Amino acid sequence: MPLKLDNESELREAQAALFNINSTSGWLLLNYVGPSTVHFCAGGEGGVDDIKDHLEDDQIQYGLIRIGNIQEKGTLKTTVRDIFFCWIGPGVGIIEKGKKIANLGDAQALLQPFHADITILSKSKFDKETVLDRSHPLSGSHVIE
């Protein structure tokens, strides 16, 4: 069953703010409100630390985070990276994981565009440096565990 979004206009407003040409940080988060329905539940201008408070141990959640002022190697130029993430809380059962991970492609389609995608399994290791490392194209793993 395809993933549905129950408040698309709110999500699109949050995406417009996040993708603003002058924005160098920010985030948004989707929560499940039904077996195959998600809801834009939170967003902000901050960074990784602001998201952590919204990640629920018994939920799978999807989101975007924008990290700016990233120094490009070998240049003086800075860039912005938009990263899709999937949070899988430690209290999510194996059957629920299987059902909801099947919706991952639909969630990614809702939150496009982004430069990279990562999976987060550990709040304690979820920080800006790890996100930048795991979202790099040459990173061996795109999972924060």
129: domain CATH number is 3.40.20.10
Question: Residues 79-91: pLDDT tens digits?
Answer: 899 999 999 999 9
126: which residues sit within 8 A by CB, 6+ positions away?
A: 48, 51, 52, 55, 120, 144
Range of the domain at 45: 4-144
State mean pLDDT over 80-104.
Answer: 95
Question: Residues 27-54: pLDDT tens digits?
Answer: 999 999 999 999 999 999 999 999 999 9
Backbone angles phi, psi at 90, to 5 degrees: -65, -20
Number of structural domains (the chain) is: 1
